[in-house]
Structure 1
Amino acid sequence: MDFFPIFMRLEGRPCLVVGGGPIAYRKVSLLRKAHARVTVVSPALCGELQALKGQDAIEHLARGFEDDDVVDRVLVIAATDDQQVNRRVSELCMQRSIPVNVVDQPELCGFITPSMVDRSPLQVAISTGGSSPVLARLFRSRIESFIPAAYGRLAALVEGYRLRVKERIADGELRRRFWERLLEGPVTELFLSGREDAAREALDRAVETGLDQRDSGGEVFLVGAGPGDPDLLTFRALRLMQLADVVVHDNLVSPAILELVRRDAEMIYAGKKRNQHTLPQEDINRLLVRLAKEGKRVLRLKGGDPFIFGRGGEEIDTLMQEGIPFQVVPGITAAAGCAAFAGIPLTHRDYAQALVFATGHLRDGTIDLNWNMLAQPRQTVVFYMGLLGLPVICREMIDHGMPSNTPAALVEQGTTQNQRVMVGTLETLPEIVKDHDVQPPTLIIVGEVVTLHERLQWFKPGTDHTAESLFSTHGQVHHHRVGTGGKP
């Protein structure tokens, strides 16, 4: 470890910044956020620093750096474009054991400023020891996604209870366990979900009852896992996936997403695979109730969005009847995700002014849908769970007035590195499925917008999502042109 991580209290204390340009301004801004008393020494100031001087927010020494400028400073930053000045500042501070930072010159630094996630009073600092500030910023952006802004307000709330808890629980170890249980439990969840008054009430009750009284009530998180790519999960979904004690998941949730769930959580596979339902829906509803009544935080993880052909409404109806607390976290539905990654816009002013989602699930060998409504011009129809019933779907659409050469596409395992896009027509699509062993999950898109796929395809499985894919064809996709009988 080349640098010792430390947080310094600078409120009201004298700090020096040598330099008057934009970089110096950024350093001054950080020091002012810590309420330091900042002096800037520089013959001239940039506009931002000049404005701070006009507000009496900084002291300005309008000249070059002098050796005595470092005297009585608790922290010094050199941010000039003069290497000799920067080196002299560093030498003087090192001699006097004053913490010094020379911007972009770690070899002259006594300390470095990390990349920070600021949720004051909660702060996270990330450093690579000066070797790669860009990498530190990339890590910061990832950590940012896991720390909602409300955590700062939560930390401030908890700060106000520290003395009361210390008086209530004298033993330091027991006090630590109390805070761990509290901050991993319902108080935090109430606060982060916007129910701040309820969180304060729960915190008051917890302080009064101390460590012995545990909250026995469970909760269910109904979370949409999106179409498959873990990067498409919402921030709230990721947070709840780390809180869950037990996970009830469907077949459509990708292994890469399951890897993001809390490691010690119990995993329960609920099935929902074609013709192979491990648990009937009624049993899933009862399972969620039972687990929650056991005091567990239950993650009901569903592919796509739980309220779009996910039967989420049935599950929360049961939870409401049983008085079980729950949250619903929407996910990117398969139609939006798969179409976007296939380069097929679901609406387009030249091709489709309406969009319809339909289920293609067979029941007793048929599909009972309003075919007259679906077989309309200038609209896009997306069929979920329609692979087995594809011949029926294509036949009914044609029989109800849709031209047999209407463009249609299959998107298999959309948004993942195994994505395949197959394009044909209502007439040729069933044969394409036979020829290429298409497997679920597969989405069916019908409408003139499908013709845009060849021009707009951008995602190339097996490569980074970069601009180069805009100029490439799908290496592992069998691409079928409309009107060619489904042959490549």
Structure 2
Amino acid sequence: MDTFPLFLNLQKQHTLVVGGGDVALRKCRLLLSAGAQVQVVAPTLVAELAQWAAQGQVVWLARDYQSDDVIGQRVVIAATDDTPVNQQVFADCEARGILVNVVDNPALCRFIVPALIDRSPLQIAISTGGRAPVLARLIRTRLEALLPQGYGTLARLAGDLRDAVKARFGDNERARRRFWQSALEGPAAEQALAGDSAAAFAQLQTQLAQADDTELNRGAVYLVGAGPGNPDLLTFRALRLMQQADVVLYDNLVSPAIVDLVRRDAERIYVGKKASNHALPQQDINALLVTLAQQGKTVVRLKGGDPFIFGRGGEEIEELAQNGVPFEVVPGITSAAGASCYAGIPLTHRDHAQSVTLVTGHRREGEIELDWPRLTNPNETVVVYMGVAQAPRLCEQLISHGRAADTPAAVVQQATLPQQRVLIGTLATLPQQIAAAQIKPPALIIIGNVVSLADKLAWYRAQQTA
């Protein structure tokens, strides 16, 4: 995070704008809307700003800037086209520890004025750290269309009810949060968005009076598929639950970018597994899920790919069911789908493969054992999860059981992420290619004639993103 986001309360606070042009006018308008007392120093003012000065909305010092002008100011904005003056304003503020912004010069800013979506008291600020303000405005325009004015009403009503909710639930922060999550997504929200604030407030009061303490304090576990790594491939349901969790257990295949989307104050527990190196044995993970839920917590078990495809999700929900813990499984894009799409390798194709089989290369007692004869059909695609370390034996066994040595094969490392790597070879050559390129997990192996399409489809994708 390059800058620290915050909102300043400038009600009746002294602020200074240096400059009297159109840019200064816009900054004064923003400060006045926040309730600030605005002083402007400039030899001349544009017409609208001069009118404000005549009406007493701003205080105008009709002269050039002087260093003492910043004394006593909460915030200073330099909005002139005079570089030496802007630099002097910044230096004077720095010497006195005053927040300063020099318009269009990020290097001389202690704060950034963001693009703003105003649904007061709800506000959304968008910033690029001063690097691309046009992009921030573009994003603001898109978000404006998604946020009805009624959200401001809903925020105001929630504020009006805040003390009553706190009195009702006391120090039970979890129950308070769950009440608000339910209330702000229910009928009251719809009424507020429709413009009926009285009905919305009455509905909130009714929900508060009828709140069930037992239900609000009940724990639950959500097994959430995090997909193959790219945050854009998360489901809406997954993201929503990640933002509501009290605690999140995540494994080795969940990318850091996805973990960053978890609610900021949720507890995060790493339970990842690597070959012969388990942060927490599976039995302990199962027991921990039960314990956390029985403590009344909302638990998200974040799993790479899909929980039910080599994710051991079935084992975890068996334990939950045996202990009477409520649970839900949220599917995710499995790694086979993500890797094949991003590598340009269709898993099925009318001319190349009429079926696909997913297997795991995870070994038991040091040896990979699969139904080798079953995997030799030339019209079938085989996708091997967790098979990089066993690639030599995997390819050797497939060839010895009848699959052609020149069958196309690929390995996709860190699929769907910017650092994705794809190696194309054959059953005969892939193990050596993996060793030479030092491919490490997470990686997926795809075997079958569909791999021959990779160059053609990867070329198309490159053209589309060029």
Give the TM-score normalised by structure 1. Answer: 0.60
Equivalent residues of 1:115, 1:133 under 8 A apart = no
**Equivalent in the alignment of 2:302:** 301
Task: Measure how far apart 1:361 and its partner are.
Answer: 0.9
Please name the residue that 1:185 is paired with: 178
- 5 Å-filtered alignment, 1:304-383, equals 304-383=305-384
Shift of 1:249: 0.9
Pair 126,433 (structure 1): closer, same or farther in 2 beyond 3 Å: closer
Cα 1:399–1:324, aligned 2, differ >3 Å: closer, same or farther? same
Return the alpha-carbon distance in structure 2 between the equivalents of residues 345 and 144 of structure 1.
Answer: 37
> Could you say which residue in structure 2 is the equivalent of 1:256?
257
Q: For this pair of structures, how many residues does the alignment match?
A: 361
Distance 2:169 2:138 in 1: 32
- Say whether residues 1:436 and 2:429 are aligned partners: no
Following TM superposition, by how much is the alpha carbon of 1:364 offset from its aligned partner in structure 2, in angstroms?
Answer: 2.1
- Aligned 8 A contact 1:354 1:379 in 2: yes
Alignment partner of 1:266 is 2:259: no
Q: Which residue of 2 aligns with 1:385?
A: 386
Q: CA 1:457–1:209 in 2, change beyond 3 Å: closer, same or farther?
A: closer
Letter in 2 for 1:445: I
Would the aligned equivalents of 1:362 and 1:388 in 2 still touch at CA under 8 Å?
A: no
Instruction: Give yes or no for contact 1:117–1:140 (8 Å, CA) kept in 2.
Output: no
Offset at 1:283?
1.0
1:424 aligns with 2:425: yes
Provide the rounded CA distance (Å) in 1 between the counterparts of 2:186 and 2:368: 40
Distance apart, 1:187 and its partner CA: 7.0
Q: Percent identity?
A: 47
List alignment gaps of at least 5 residues for structure 1.
Answer: 7-89, 95-113, 195-200, 470-488
Q: Relative to 1, partners in 2 of residues 1:349 and 1:364: Cα closer, same or farther, differing over 3 Å?
A: same
Q: Residues 134-160 of structure 1, C-alpha deviation per residue, up to 9 Å, x if partnerless?
A: 754534657999x9x9xx99x99x98x
Query: Cα–Cα, structure 1 residues 349 and 370, in superposed 2: closer, same or farther, change >3 Å?
Result: same
Of 443, 464, 467, which aligns to 2:464? 467
Quote the Cα distance in structure 1 between the aligned partners of 2:349 and 2:186: 36
Matches within 5 A, 1:162-173: none
Distance 1:123 1:190, change over 3 A: closer
Q: Which residue of 1 aligns with 2:223?
A: 222
Aligned residues of 1:354 and 1:378 also touching (Cα < 8 A):
yes
Q: In angstroms, what is the RMSD of aligned CA positions?
A: 4.9
Deviation at 1:431, TM superposition (A): 0.9
Which residue in the other structure is 2:243 paired with? 242
CA contact 1:226–1:331 (8 Å) conserved in 2: yes
Map of 1:207 onto structure 2: 209
Question: Is the contact made by 1:115 and 1:140 (CA closer than 8 Å) also made in structure 2?
Answer: no
Matches within 5 A, 1:147-162: none
Q: CA deviation at 1:395?
A: 1.5
Write the distance in 1 (CA, Å) between the matches of 2:420 and 2:178.
Answer: 39
Q: Residue 182 of structure 1 contacts residue 188 of structure 1 at CA under 8 Å; is this kept in 2?
A: no
CA distance in 1, matches of 2:159, 2:427: 67
Aligned counterparts of 1:127 and 1:248: Cα–Cα separation in 2: 30
Which residue pairs with 1:276 in the alignment?
A: 277
Residues 440-449 or 383-392, more deviating = 383-392
CA distance 1:363–1:182, change in 2 (3 Å): closer
Aligned to 1:44: none
Distance 2:409 2:365 in 1: 25
Aligned amino acid, residue 467 of structure 1: Q
SS in 2 for 1:327: strand
**What SS does the aligned partner of 1:423 have?**
strand
SS in 2 for 1:455: helix
Distance change >3 Å, CA 127–CA 299, structure 1 → 2: closer
Q: What letter is aligned with 2:260? A: E
- The TM-score, its normalising length taken from structure 2, stands at 0.62
The verdict on how the C-alpha distance between 1:133 and 1:174 changes in structure 2, with shifts beyond 3 A counting, is: farther
- Tell me the SS of whatever aligns to 1:310: coil
Counterpart AA for 2:177 = E
C-alpha displacement at 1:263, in angstroms? Answer: 2.0
Matched residue, 1:72: none
